[in-house]
Amino acid sequence: MAEPMGEKYDAYAKKTDAPMAALALIFLVVWSSRIIFFASLPGGVRATMLTVQGVIWAIFLTDLIIRTVISKKSWRYLWTHPIDVVAVLVPAARPLKVLTAFTQATAFATAAGRMKTMQAVVLSVVLLLWIGSVAVLAAERPLADSAINTFGDALWWAFVTVTTVGYGDFAPISVEGRIIAVLMMLIGIALIGVVTASVAAWFVALTSGGDDEEEEAREVTRHDELMARVAELEAKIDRLAGSPEAPAERAGPERQ
């Protein structure tokens, strides 16, 4: 269960999540176009694209600072929300926030959770392939000895890297390209693990003979009971903290 961030954070996130996702898409299109069509773009157009990228980057940095300040976690927010931090470094990666679907308790427990997880996996793979392809092309194309010189080469390399096949026909030779390759391999392995877990959970549900609707209803009931218990405990703590008799009772045995 996710830790609450506070009313201010929730209100801010509700207002800004959609606009930030739209800005991330704009950044992805501008960044990709500038790199893929670099040779055919006039200098003025490339400069304008860089300006747009800079403005969007500044907006994402401001957004991260605001979320960090108004969240209950304070600066721990940066550690517990790595995708938001990555979005500042690479704003095009912000749509990867769909990966948070994996952290929910019902990710594999219910049919709806498994469907949402699979949708998140598919979108994540598409974004990962696209971002990795463009990034490695930007790193490798300026090098004379590199075999990755076109977007098609970069996309093929991204496919074989994410799936950890690694044919070796295309391989990055720059430091930046190899760092990108390592990150893509690690994320690819993680996504394969999620797919395996989702399929296993589906088979378990299928062989158990249980009804998905009943299973989901039980999960919702357990969640409601847990939340009610937490609220009850919080109320007891508040009563004890606000009771003037509590200190006296604790001090009583010490005076004896």
| Per-residue 3-state assignment (H helix, E strand, C coil) for the chain | CCCCCCHHHHHHHHHHHHHHHHHHHHHHHHHHHHHHCHHHCCHHHHHHHHHHHHHHHHHHHHHHHHHHHHCCCCCHHHHHCHHHHHHHHCHHHHHHHHHHHHHCCCCCCCHHHHHHHHHHHHHHHHHHHHHHHHHHHHHHCCCCCCCCCCHHHHHHHHHHHHCCCCCCCCCCCCHHHHHHHHHHHHHHHHHHHHHHHHHHHHHHHHHHCCCHHHHHHHHHHHHHHHHHHHHHHHHHHHHHHHCCHHHHHHHHHHHC
pLDDT for res 102: 47
- Tell me what pLDDT residue 249 has: 47
Q: What is the mean pLDDT of residues 119-124?
A: 76
The CATH 1.10.287.70 domain(s) of the chain lie at: 104-209
Residue 169 confidence (pLDDT): 83
Rounded mean pLDDT, 211-225: 66
**Residue 208 pLDDT class (50, 70, 90 cuts):** low
**Of residues 63 and 242, more confidently modeled:** 63
> What is the CATH T-level fold of the domain 104-209, as seen in this structure?
Helix Hairpins (1.10.287)
